[in-house]
């Protein structure tokens, strides 16, 4: 096992990151392996509990903890985190500012043509249609959303699901592109800004408790997918190393335990 050595670089505002890659905080560089190759990991800052900044601006979350555990398995690398707005992560991967993207990414064909996906899923992600109980019964299928307004963050997996459906169904769903906070999203569902959103049941339950509302989710997931780290095209060596470390962490039960500790259940299988 390597010595502990977490290098964190924060760029809370996307424009600041794109201009200068943010302010760097190196709290443990003295402990880093001197001959290790530094890998810049691009991740988000506002998607709790997967990846977010706590009240002290420290990077936290499941994706972060998994990568720390991976880094401990790989003495040839030192992971350095760049925290940025979600929309900037894959752009930064394209331009070579980062070498690994981590933000709860599921596979889709559009991204698969541009980037190299890992082969080991470190989490699973099930999408459910969610709406306020005041709107009536839950929507169960994408067809139920035709003629409805549905929240989606630009460039997200949810946006991809809705856009793909619309291509095949004459733009039947009105996509409300929004990068709003959780509170604004919930209020939007409650006041009719949008008729529905697509969330995990974990997020739905969290919002119900956090905001004292009654959002309801479809019984069945409209899509379940593995969650992967993303690399630059051609970076097979780094991908293979990370995949191998993830396999070890899975076999040891570390991934399952991290999921239970952070989410309250094992979502790795």
CATH number at residue 216: 3.40.190.10
Q: Do 43 and 55 fall into the same domain?
A: yes
Residue 268 lies in a domain: no
C-alpha torsion angle, residues 172, 178, 183, 188 (rounded to 10): -40
Same domain, 235 and 209: no
Is residue 116 located within the same domain as residue 235? yes
**Is the sign of the CA dihedral 88, 145, 188, 202 positive or negative?**
negative
Q: What is the mean pLDDT of the chain?
A: 88
Taking only the tens place, the pLDDT of each residue in 98-144 is 999 999 998 988 999 999 999 999 998 889 999 999 888 899 999 99
The most distant pair of C-alpha atoms in the chain lies apart, rounded to whole Å, by 60
Residues 218-233: tens digit of each pLDDT: 999 998 889 999 999 9
Residues 179 and 131 in one domain: yes
Same domain, 114 and 231: yes
3-state secondary structure of 139: coil
The tokens describing 187, both together, are: 């209020």
Q: Please report which confidence band the pLDDT of residue 202 belongs to, taking 50, 70 and 90 as the band edges.
A: confident
* 115 within some domain: yes
Average pLDDT of span 198-210: 90
Pair 11, 118 in one domain: yes
Q: Is residue 164 part of a domain?
A: yes
- Chain Cα centroid distance, residue 118: 14
Are 61 and 47 in contact by the 8 Å Cβ rule? The answer is yes
Kindly tell me if the per-residue pLDDT of 35 is higher than 90.
no
Omega of the bond prior to 75 within 30 degrees of 0, cis?
A: no
Q: Is the pLDDT of residue 145 over 50?
A: yes
Q: Is the pLDDT of residue 174 over 70?
A: yes
pLDDT (mean) for 174-195: 93
d(CA 138, CA 144): 9
Output the six-digit token pair for 37.
């190759």
Q: Do 115 and 149 lie in a common domain?
A: no
Q: Which domain holds residue 66?
A: 7-123+227-263
Question: Do residue 23 and residue 98 come from a single domain?
Answer: yes
Tell me: pLDDT of 12 over 80. no
Structural domain tally of the chain? 2
Both 198 and 216 in a single domain?
Answer: yes
């Amino acid at each position: 096992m390597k010595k502990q050595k977490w290098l964190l670089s924060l760029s809370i505002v996307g424009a600041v990151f794109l201009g200068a890659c943010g302010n760097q905080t190196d709290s443990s560089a003295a402990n880093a392996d001197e001959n290790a190759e530094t890998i810049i990991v691009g991740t988000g800052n506002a998607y709790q509990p997967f990846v977010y900044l706590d009240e002290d601006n420290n990077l936290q979350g499941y994706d972060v903890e998994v990568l720390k555990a991976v880094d401990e398995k790989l003495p040839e690398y030192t992971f350095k985190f760049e925290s940025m707005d979600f929309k900037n992560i894959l752009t930064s991967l394209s331009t070579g500012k980062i070498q690994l993207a981590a933000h709860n990414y599921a596979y889709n064909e559009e991204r698969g043509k541009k980037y190299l996906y890992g082969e080991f899923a470190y989490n699973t992600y099930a999408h459910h249609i969610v709406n306020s109980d005041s709107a009536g019964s839950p929507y169960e299928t994408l067809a139920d959303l035709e003629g409805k307004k549905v929240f989606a963050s630009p460039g997200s997996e949810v946006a991809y699901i809705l856009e793909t459906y619309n291509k095949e169904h004459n733009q039947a769903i009105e996509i409300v592109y929004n990068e709003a906070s959780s509170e604004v999203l919930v209020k939007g569902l409650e006041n009719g800004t949008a008729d529905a959103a697509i969330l995990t049941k974990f997020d739905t339950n969290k919002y119900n408790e956090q905001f004292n509302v009654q959002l309801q989710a479809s019984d069945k997931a409209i899509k379940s997918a593995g969650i992967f780290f993303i690399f630059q095209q051609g970076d097979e060596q780094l991908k293979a190393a990370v995949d191998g470390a993830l396999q070890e962490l899975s076999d040891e039960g570390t991934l399952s335990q991290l999921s239970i500790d952070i989410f309250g259940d094992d979502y790795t299988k």
